[in-house]
Every structure is written in C-alpha cells, then in structure tokens.
Amino acid sequence: MGTNSQKEMQVVVGADDGHDTIKLCHGWDSATQTWRYGYHKSRAVEGLQQVMSMGGPGGAGGAYETGGKRYTVAGSQNLLQALDTRMEGYPLSDLNRTLVNHSLAACGLGDVQVHLITGLPVDQYYKNGAPNQELIGQKIASLAKPAQRVGKGPALARIVGQSVISEAIAAFYDALIQPDGEFNAEIEALIARRPIAVMDMGGKTTDLVVVAEHGSSVYKDQSGTKDIGVLQLLDQVAESIKSEFRLNDNPPLPYVEEACRTKKYELFGEQVDVSQIVTAACESYLERVKNFFVSKLRDGSIVGAVLFVGGGTALIQSILGPTAFESIYRGKRFIAIDPEYANARGMWKFGMYILDDAERTIEAPAATKGAPAKSTRASAVESV
C-alpha cells in the first residue's frame, strides 16, 4: 500500500468545489472514527464589503484579491447578492479560486502545505473517450495562481501539488475504498460481476457515470451530465414562496435553504408552513433526475447497483426519505453516508491510496496529476 508519509507535513485534501458548496475532506481520525471535513457555501460578491462577524459558526467570511479582482466571501450575511456560480467557466474562474482558498483556510489549513485534489463533471473531465488534459491542466493552473487575503484573517494554505479526477468517479472510489485503504467487500464483489452506476446530484448538474466491470473504464454512451441541480430546486421553492405569499421579490437563498430543512418560512415575524411547496419542488426535481436516468439506462437492468451521492441526494433523503429513490431505480441502491461529502472523501482516498508517494509529495507549485494513476491497490478509471 505504501507508507503514505507526507513530506514536510503535506496534507492530502479532497475538495469538491461545487457551485452550491465547497466540501473538503482532509483526513480520517481513526481514534474517533470520524472524518475531518470542511464546508462553506459558494457565496461571494465582487469587490470589498464592510462586514462584521459576531463570532458565530456561520459568520466567517473574508476578503481576497486574485487575478486582479477583489471578492468578499459571504459568511452569515444572508442579504448579500452573491455571484451566480452557474456561469460558464466557473471551474477556471477567479471566483472559484477565491472560494477554494477561503475554504481551505477556514477549516484550519492556513499555512499548511497541501496536495489538493479537485474534480470536474464527467462531461468536462472526458473528451473523445479520454481525460480532457487541456481542461484538466487549465484547472490546475487556475488554482495554482496566487490569492491574497485582504485584511485580517487566517493564513492561506500552500497548494504545493494538485490532481483532478472525475467527480462521480471520486464517489465510486469513496464507496469502494474504506478509510484504511482496504476495499469494501460488497462493492468489490458487485463491480466484479456488473457495472455500477453513480448518480451525483449536485448544485448545478447531475452526473450519471456507469463504471465498467472491475472498475476498468467508464461506459461512455451510458454516462453523461445534465443541467439538473439543487440550485434550480431552490429557485423553484423561492419562486413558489414569492407567489404564494405575494412578496415583491424572491426570498434570499439562505432563507430558502432553511425553509427546505424546516418546512417553515419566517414571514413578518411569524412561522408559516411551506411543506407542500418544498415537497412539490423536490418531487419535480426528482422526476427530472429520473427522466435523465431513463434516457441513459432505461430501466437500469444492465447495472448491478446504483450509488446515490451529492447534495441533491442529501436534500431529497431528508425531505422525502430514502425510499424516494425507488422511483429512479428499483434494484440495489446505495445511499452514501453524508452523501454531500462523497466526492470529497473519494478524492482524499484517491490521494492517499491510489497516487503513489512520489506523486503525492511533489513540492513544486506546478506539480500536477492530470489523470488518475495506476496502482497495485486500485486501478483508476481513465477512459470511456
């Protein structure tokens, strides 16, 4: 397996730098049997905003300068008109770089050398049946550009090495590889007999990846990406609340997220029931995900199981329950524990157990690993 030594305290970090949230995984605590996570909403405004934190858990924002632009990352400032991350080119943007750097610092990795592993949706990661090395290189180069904090705050992490993998493939690694690097026997036995589909329900898109037998490749024609995301679901809830209660504007996104969690919306100091609005939006979203699944896999009888991950999975499970996914696939279903972190955990496992020691401890800022490497412990999925 290798020693997994980390030269000069280099820390492997899996960063699912999504359109809705930046989720980080930077280790496994074997003593407490818990993951080391970081979580920050992908919300920032261009320019400098004068904000004050009262010290609460949601108050940690910050101002940054990168690429000749300045950004203020929103903490608990719910009324800031955050930039829409669903813009074209977000993975290579100054905004993305700002949010990733902020999230690394916010989870305690300030002034720490990290090997950063990020992802791309399947339709961007692959091109003509092989990893899209041009785009992968551009993402690595973007995150290697300098970013500086404006004003006081924790030091930023030092990104000394990078890798990029397909996001849904990262979720497959998470299911296959246990925290200590050993294989999950059930997943290993399944993938030996039948393909496994991974449905990653994210902020902007839903990825469907069909991993071939033995994890040897990805089935191209049965895999893809669709613009069906949690942010669209939240937009629908916001519009319905505005219409139902005759408001002048859509409620702010953080308020809508709270309404989805609690089924209540605070209006003029009173709690009103919005459970029907939330449930209807979730059912509509789930129907669109189902249609996407059917367009690629029909009834799904050709796969041995479907793994559900991502923020959309977490939201649907919390509102409609785990049986809601039966409408998509009636066979063996796996819902990842903390599904919103599945990609980040899989990226961390890739860095720890698939990359070899030399690749993981390169110190030059330009250190890259554009495509998953071969390993004696696990074969990386490279082609379609």
For residue 74, what is the domain's CATH number? 3.30.420.40
* Residue pLDDT, tens place only, 207-247: 999 999 999 899 999 999 999 999 999 999 999 999 999 99
Q: Could you count the other beta carbons within 10 Å of the beta carbon of residue 322?
A: 13
Angle between helices 253-262 and 230-244 (to 10 degrees): 90
Does residue 95 belong to any structural domain of this protein?
yes
Query: 10: pLDDT confidence band, cut at 50, 70 and 90?
Result: confident
Does residue 311 belong to any structural domain of this protein?
no
Q: Could you count the other beta carbons within 10 Å of the beta carbon of residue 192?
A: 11
| Residue 24 DSSP SS3 | strand
Does residue 128 belong to any structural domain of this protein?
yes
In the chain, pLDDT over 70 holds for what percent of residues?
88
How crowded is the C-beta side of 374, counted as CA atoms within 13 Å?
A: 3
* Residue pLDDT, tens place only, 255-268: 999 999 999 999 99
Does residue 286 belong to any structural domain of this protein?
no
Query: 186: pLDDT confidence band, cut at 50, 70 and 90?
Result: very high
Does residue 382 belong to any structural domain of this protein?
no
Does residue 309 belong to any structural domain of this protein?
no
pLDDT higher than threshold 60 for residue 374: no
Question: What is the spatial distance between Cα 210 and Cα 203, in angstroms, rounded to a whole number?
Answer: 20
Does residue 216 belong to any structural domain of this protein?
no
Range of the domain at 102: 7-183+341-360
- Look at residue 361 in the predicted model and tell me its pLDDT: 54
Residues contacting residue 365 through CB under 8 Å, at least 6 positions apart:
144, 159, 160
Tell me the average pLDDT across 159-169. Answer: 96
- Look at residue 49 in the predicted model and tell me its pLDDT: 79
How crowded is the C-beta side of 319, counted as CA atoms within 13 Å?
A: 27
Secondary structure of 206-268 as H, E, C letters: EEEEEECHHHCCECCCCCEEECCCHHHHHHHHHHHHHHHCCCCCCCCHHHHHHHHHHCEEEEC
Query: 77: pLDDT confidence band, cut at 50, 70 and 90?
Result: confident
Does residue 136 belong to any structural domain of this protein?
yes
Q: What is the number of structural domains in the chain?
A: 1
* Residue pLDDT, tens place only, 122-133: 999 999 889 999
Tell me the average pLDDT across 39-47. Answer: 94
